[in-house]
Each structure stands twice: as structure tokens, then as C-alpha cells.
Structure 1
């Protein structure tokens, strides 16, 4: 929420609006950040980054989650897809601690964490290197004057289209009516994405789309809209 956010910008880094810290972590969370995170962390790229090389065993595909919140979706996808390498981006320190607390030890080699703004990672990834991407319940920034802060928009969709392989799926979800309309318009307008499914009916989603904690709590009291789009092979 707005009162918990911070605005940061350094050098040529994109301006970041969001939370990096929340309530004081328990010692168990601090211990995980100190002892486990370094072995799973993706450093801030200084140049091109091969996402497959981040994992000790080369995965069949690498998937990317932008803003994983408490990490329950990453944990579920790691359990469902043992052949996949997952990169989760999340600047919020408490969310990272939550993911580390819930991720089984035997899945740690298949998950990597970029503890910063996903927009800093995307330019370093090679073209067509990502097999699936998730943007689930991002901050909606519902006020009109904050519209440029919403993640789903032309610049970030261009960046995602560049790194997604042909045919790769982009999954987006939101329970905020303003964001639902915004995301629907921008996804439908982008020349490199085509609609697979847009629905409010969770029962019609693929079995490998587990609910997030935020979705289950239904924070805004509105029914979520789920967007499935596919990266086209070419515009048109």
C-alpha cells in the first residue's frame, strides 16, 4: 500500500516504487537470509546473463516470476515442475524470507532469487530464453496519476516479449478493477502477444496454476481476472 512504499532511484536504474522492508523479521527469517539466500541469489547483472547457467543442473526451461510476494506460487511451481528452473524477482525482504522458509531444501537448486526490481534483470537475459513468465497480483497503483507505475504496460511488455521464447505463456492476474482493465487493454494491444484465455472462473484454469495466498484472501473483495497470453512468433 502507498504508506508502506518507498521511491528509489540510483544512476540509470529505473525508479522503483514499492516495499523493500516490512515488519521486523524473526531470527529464523534473518538466519535464512544470511545462510541460504546467498547460495540462491542472482547478482545484479553487469552484462548478459545466461539463465540456464544459474542452476547446478541445466533445466529443461527457465521460468520467471515478477514479484513473487510470499513465494507460495514459486514453491508450488517448483513442486509441480521438477525439470524447470525458476527465477523469482522480489525486492521485498520479508517476502524473500517467506519463500525461503517454505521452499523445501531439495528444491533450492531449482530456484533462484533476484532480490530487486525485475526491470533490472530483464535487459540482461538473452532473447527467447524464458519459457514462461508470471505477473500475479502486482501492485495495482489504482490512482490515475500513478498509472505509469503499473508493471503491465508497453515498455515492460516489450521487455517480456524479447526474453520469452516463441509460444511461451505469460500469466497475469489481478483483483483490482482498474488494473484488470489496464492490463487487458495493454495485453490485447501488444503486437507480440496473443490471447489464450481471459477469465474470472478459476475452475477453467490449467491445473498448474495454483492459487496464491493473496488470491485466497481476496484483498480487495473483487473477483480476480486471470489472463493467459502467448508470445507470438512474429507480429500480426
Structure 2
């Protein structure tokens, strides 16, 4: 991002409590080595020189405490997972998970995912996760939601044909909002064939502590979309 370009604004609190000493230390020592480049880059090149190419590249937008991201990375060491989260306590928590599992296939942006997406080339991602994002339930705040027509278009640009995007929420209005915007896009197909496809967690889903709190107004809904 050039000096003339204003930074995107991430709404909400970026830190709510003092970060624990161990996690604070990881913010200083581990995080710098995990941050992606700040100039345009291809995520498929983010590997040691002698390492084989990543089998796939995934992006998790707003990874919360990092439980899902770290667990998926541990399951699939042959792929790279990029994660973006502006909430500093969440980043600190994710670093603890990464450090404890000694993961080498995760890269972390402690900032707005839209900044990261803008730096990557078209058709470079195999999967995108948008799991339980801030719902901004008041009508006057809906414009702050991460799912907007322009971000759906950016998701389509970044995903390879056949790539998949998963959106999950426990706020009914946000589910309807997102379904409307994705199905309006000519670039995505909703993969659901029966009710259980959105009512039941997908087989590869990892439930987090945040999800278990059920802070929304409905049971979790999972929407999987395929890039046409």
C-alpha cells in the first residue's frame, strides 16, 4: 500500500484486555516471521527455497482466536494457510496455537484482510473461510460487514475456478444478507443440495470455543460456495 493510499478502517475494538506475557512475547518474536509481504506477492512462493510447492493455499478472514486456522494447518501440513485478524487479542491467541503445534505452514496478518487480498494475484487461492464474522446487526451498521458486493467480487478474483468459500454465522439476518450477495454473483454457485448442507457443520469443520458460546440469534448456518 503506497503512502498516498489511506489505510482501510477496521471497525470494532482492536484490543479488549491486557495480552498475557507469553503471548505478548510471541507478538514480538514470532509474529514478524509470519507476516506476509507488504508489497504485491504470490502466496504460492511463501516457502523455504528447497521446499516443494504448496499443494494448496487457503485464506481465513477474521480468524478470531486462531483455533480453526491452527487446527486446519495441523491437519494439512502440505498446504499454506493465510490468516488475517485486526483484533490483537485474537492474534496473540493464534500465535500461541501456532507455537504450541510448531506449525510452519501459517502466515498471519495482524490487520484488515482486505489489505492482504489486494496484494495477491488472481486465481491464487483454493479456499476462503469467513467464519462467524462480526454481524453488525444494527441496520445502520450493515455497511461495516465484511460481506459486501465488492468483497464478493474480490473473493471471486482470488479463487481458482472450482475453489470454495465457506461462510458461517449464527445471526439469521447476516446469513440471509450473505446468501443474497453470493447468489447474485455470476461467479459463485451455492453448493447446498439439502437442508442439512447448511444446518449441520461440514465434515471438515472445526468447532471453536467462540462458536460454542452461541452468541447469535440462531443455530450456526454454514454456506459453502463454489467458484464457477
- Pairing partner for 1:72 from 62, 67, 70: 67
- 8 A Cα contact 2:129 2:166, kept in partner: yes
- Structure 1 gaps of 5+ residues are 1-9
Q: CA deviation at 1:218?
A: 1.0
The one-character-per-residue Cα deviations of 1:155-190 (angstroms, maximum 9, x if unpaired) are 001111001111000000000111111011111111
- 8 A Cα contact 2:135 2:171, kept in partner: yes
Aligned residue number for residue 35 of structure 1: 29
1:216 partnered with 2:212: yes
Alpha-carbon RMSD across the aligned residues, in angstroms, is: 1.6
Q: CA deviation at 1:68?
A: 0.1
Aligned residue number for residue 136 of structure 2: 141
Q: CA deviation at 1:12?
A: 2.6
User: Secondary structure of 1:208's match?
Assistant: coil
Question: What TM-score, normalized to structure 1?
Answer: 0.87
Aligned residue number for residue 172 of structure 2: 177
- Pairing partner for 2:76 from 78, 81, 105: 81
The one-character-per-residue Cα deviations of 1:32-63 (angstroms, maximum 9, x if unpaired) are 111111111124x23x2111222223311110
User: Secondary structure of 2:60's match?
Assistant: strand
- Structure 2 gaps of 5+ residues are none
For 1:143 and 1:213, the matched residues in 2 are separated by: 25
The one-character-per-residue Cα deviations of 1:111-148 (angstroms, maximum 9, x if unpaired) are 00011100111111111000100000000011111111
1:199 partnered with 2:198: yes
- Pairing partner for 2:19 from 25, 30, 50: 25
The size of the alignment, in residue pairs, is 218
Question: What TM-score, normalized to structure 2?
Answer: 0.90
- Pairing partner for 2:160 from 165, 189, 204: 165
Q: CA deviation at 1:13?
A: 2.5
User: Cα–Cα, structure 1 residues 85 and 107, in superposed 2: closer, same or farther, change >3 Å?
Assistant: farther
For 2:65 and 2:174, the matched residues in 1 are separated by: 21
Aligned residue number for residue 4 of structure 1: none
Q: CA deviation at 1:103?
A: 2.1
Aligned residue number for residue 111 of structure 1: 106
